Amino acid sequence: KQEVTQIPAALSVPEGENLVLNCSFTDSAIYNLQWFRQDPGKGLTSLLLIQSSQREQTSGRLNASLDKSSGRSTLYIAASQPGDSATYLCAPGGATNKLIFGTGTLLAVQP
Amino acid sequence: GAVVSQHPSWVICKSGTSVKIECRSLDFQATTMFWYRQFPKQSLMLMATSNEGSKATYEQGVEKDKFLINHASLTLSTLTVTSAHPEDSSFYICSATRGGDTEAFFGQGTRLTVV
């Protein structure tokens, strides 16, 4: 059974800092991994999708890496802004497109 | 593209009544839709997988007679919470994938409160 852990559980940083969010998963037989953002009381916004054959994906200030064999992914946020404040969720996906979610990292970027 | 719309965004119902939540893919055909539940300060838990024209596959511990899922078309799946009780109060979110595409697109969620 896939288990997903995200570290840290919460993070508070001043505006402008670069930061790294970590995700680890127990079953490396994944097809892809997605990073999402969730604002309070809202649905999920897809940030990045990494296929299992890829090592990283970039979108603007976001960069996600995937080390499938070791069961790890990281989300790097450059030059953080207050608008980045949200909960960040990682979710590895299997053959049936099921996503198993981590518990998330609650990020607060202080102006 | 790839927009998923969920309705309603919030609902309050009395204990013992049933509530239907709709999940629509607006600009693509969703071969598979998924229903998740999220309790406060917890992550999303998969409830069931729904394929158009076939019965939903429920995750272990999810009561299929209580959470009725219908996926009658390639753009619509519905989740009906039957005989709702206060412990069913939660945030329900659907997602959809396109044929051959593994990326999941999520609806905005439905906040259900049972009083």
Q: What is the DSSP string of B21-54?
A: EEEEESSS-EEEEEEEEE-TTS-EEEEEEEETTS
pLDDT digit string (tens) for B53-103?
A: 888 999 999 999 999 999 888 899 999 999 999 999 999 999 998 876 678
By the CB < 8 Å criterion, does B43 face chain A?
yes
Measured between beta carbons, which residues in chain A are less than 8 angstroms from residue B91? 41
pLDDT digit string (tens) for A39-61?
A: 988 889 999 999 999 999 999 99
Mutate to test the interface with A, among B106, B108, B110, B112 (most CBs of A within 10 A): B106
Q: How confident is the model at residue B104 (pLDDT cuts 50, 70, 90)?
A: confident
Measured between beta carbons, which residues in chain A are less than 8 angstroms from residue B111? 41
Phi-psi region of A41 (alpha: psi -120 to 50; beta: other; left: phi over 0): left
- Nearest 5°: phi and psi at B86? -50, -35
Mutate to test the interface with B, among A44, A46, A100, A101 (most CBs of B within 10 A): A44
- Measured CA to CA, the distance from residue A74 to residue A61 in angstroms comes to 14
pLDDT over 80 (residue A6): yes
Phi-psi region of B76 (alpha: psi -120 to 50; beta: other; left: phi over 0): beta
- Across chain A, mean pLDDT equals 94
pLDDT over 90 (residue B108): yes
By the CB < 8 Å criterion, does A26 face chain B?
no
pLDDT over 70 (residue A20): yes
Q: Which residue has the higher pLDDT, B42 or B80?
A: B80
